[in-house]
Amino acid sequence: MLVLYLNRRGFSSINDVDTESETDTESYGFRLDLKEVERVCKVIDELFCLDRNMEADLDECGIDLTHDLIIDVLERYRHARKPAFRFFCCAGQKPGFEHDSSTYNKMMNILAKNRQFETMLSMLEEMGARGALTMDTFIIAIKAFAALKERKKAVGIFDLMKKYKYKAGVDIVNCLLERLLRSRKTSDAVKLFEVMKTKGLLPNVRSYTIMIRECCKQAKMGEAVQYFEEMHDSGCPPDVAVYTCFITGFGNQRRMDMAYRLLKEMQDKGCPPDGHTYNALIKLLTTQRMPDDAMRVYKKMIQAGVQPTIHTFNMMMKSFFQSRNYDMSCAIWEEMTEKGFCPDDVSYTVFIGGLIHLGRSGEACRLLEEMIEKGMKAPQLDYDRFAADFSRAGKPAILEKLARKMKLSGKIEASNIFTRRAKTMKKRVKRKGSFKTYGRCI
């Protein structure tokens, strides 16, 4: 082990990039023919608006209920719990059809996200009576309560798990830890972590990563090291995510020497940095206005066979524009497109904003038009400065053209700026064009 921070026993796994927490967004793909789903949704909309008997009308439509159809329809109504719940109940009352774990959990998710906790708990009990409970059911409930800082209710779900003979595994505790920390209930998360150990539930690498990441975010590197040492003593080998947390933590304290040392240690210990690690290090360097160092890390990333992301290029472009290095910003844009990346909204915003900052409004205008023509939203930029550049250049036609395009893309304020500038310029040109007679303006 290396001798590292605060003369403590070395932790040979500290790393530079921020580990990304799991998100709540679901990438959803419809399972059935969309026409069938739309037909059902149309019936629901009409019946719900007229407050008619949904059960009878669904029967008359000859809809063949399947679990996949139920899930697809509920997905459409995930933000409208009343029609979703009514349809769910109607489907459950239809002879020959019975909800399974997948449809129940889908409805549980909708109730949880709409904060219908009493109904959610009643449904959980109903699922228990019908033998439809799964571990996902309990996770949905725990996440819902923890998100609203209802720690006691979240912990109470563990009692329900015992009632239905489900053993609370470390993955569920990890889920609750993350939710508590997102809700800024750090002390509750620390207590839960300790309770987990006293109950005989051993934390895994993910558990320690969650706690270490939070300590690094709060710049409590001493506590982060303590968790690392505990993890090492328990026999959990550190992984890339743990290293990345530490690299980010030290980097944010401008301890780049430690960040680089950890990067080397990762490689020496057979735990090579991944894309998250490299991106985290590049982010640290670009944030500290060190674009040349970020470029060196990027080259190491490519040499190691690790693929960059669009975010990698966006960060470096922004950093070089901030240092007024137009040529390098353009080189990165070209590198990005050569590697097969299509510029996203952020790419265009960074590049256009950088061009405006450097006074290259003509190029910025071409890219802005290209962006709008691709169907992208016009970005948030310093449109007043942008318009002023064209105004000084005496180009009212360009301003009017941009005003029309901005209006069509929904940027009314930007459109108004361009329109005002164009009108002001025309008035100024008109005054300058007044002809003279006998040395006097007429």
Distances (CA, A) of 32 to 38, 72, 194, 436: 11, 7, 46, 77
For residue 374, is it within any domain? yes
334 versus 382: the higher-pLDDT residue is 334
5 versus 348: the higher-pLDDT residue is 348
For residue 88, is it within any domain? no
Lowest model confidence (mean pLDDT) among 62-71, 102-111, 199-208, 427-436: 427-436
For residue 416, is it within any domain? yes
Strand partners, 440: 437
- Return all residues near 309 (Cβ < 8 A) that are at least 6 apart: 275, 279
Strand partners, 437: 440
pLDDT computed for residue 54 by the predictor:
65
For residue 144, is it within any domain? no
Burial class (CB in 10 A: 0-12, 13-18, 19+), 26: exposed
For residue 390, is it within any domain? yes
- Return all residues near 419 (Cβ < 8 A) that are at least 6 apart: 399, 400, 403
Distance CA 274, CA 265 (A): 14
Residue with tokens 């967004």: 25
Distance CA 151, CA 124 (A): 18
For residue 16, is it within any domain? no
pLDDT in tens, 349-378: 999 989 988 988 788 888 887 887 777 776
pLDDT computed for residue 356 by the predictor:
86
pLDDT computed for residue 387 by the predictor:
65
- Return all residues near 347 (Cβ < 8 A) that are at least 6 apart: 310, 313, 314, 317, 333, 336
Largest separation between any pair of C-alpha atoms in the chain: 104
Nearest of 58, 62, 60 to residue 48 by alpha carbon: 58
What is the pLDDT confidence band of residue 435, given thresholds at 50, 70 and 90? very low
Q: What percent of the chain has pLDDT over 70?
A: 79
The beta strands (E) that lie in 142-267 are given as none
| pLDDT reading at 44 higher than 70 | yes
Nearest of 142, 64, 132 to residue 103 by alpha carbon: 132
pLDDT in tens, 130-180: 999 988 898 888 888 877 767 678 777 877 888 888 877 788 888 888 878
Distance CA 169, CA 230 (A): 20
| pLDDT reading at 16 higher than 80 | no
3-state secondary structure 182-212: HCCCHHHHHHHHHHHHHCCCCCCHHHHHHHH
- Return all residues near 397 (Cβ < 8 A) that are at least 6 apart: none
C-beta of residue 276 within 8 angstroms of C-beta of residue 306 = no
| Angle, alpha carbons 284-297-359 (nearest 5°) | 70
For the record, the structure tokens of 163 come out as 């009632």
C-beta of residue 250 within 8 angstroms of C-beta of residue 14 = yes
Write the single-letter amino acid at 353.
Answer: G
For the record, the structure tokens of 268 come out as 């020496």
Lowest model confidence (mean pLDDT) among 84-88, 107-111, 241-245: 84-88
For residue 414, is it within any domain? yes
Distance CA 100, CA 358 (A): 60
Distance CA 378, CA 375 (A): 9
The total of structural domains in the chain comes to: 1
Distance CA 205, CA 217 (A): 18
Q: What are the φ and ψ backbone dihedral angles of 222, each rounded to 5 degrees? A: -60, -45
Nearest of 89, 90, 70 to residue 78 by alpha carbon: 70
pLDDT computed for residue 294 by the predictor:
95
pLDDT computed for residue 434 by the predictor:
46
For residue 17, is it within any domain? no
Distance CA 437, CA 440 (A): 5
For the record, the structure tokens of 240 come out as 């890339």
Burial class (CB in 10 A: 0-12, 13-18, 19+), 62: exposed
- Return all residues near 25 (Cβ < 8 A) that are at least 6 apart: none
| pLDDT reading at 3 higher than 50 | no
pLDDT in tens, 287-338: 999 999 999 999 999 999 999 999 999 999 999 999 999 999 999 999 999 9
Distance CA 193, CA 226 (A): 14
Distance CA 103, CA 67 (A): 6
pLDDT computed for residue 9 by the predictor:
36
C-beta of residue 380 within 8 angstroms of C-beta of residue 349 = yes
| pLDDT reading at 188 higher than 60 | yes
Q: What's the domain range around 392?
A: 343-433
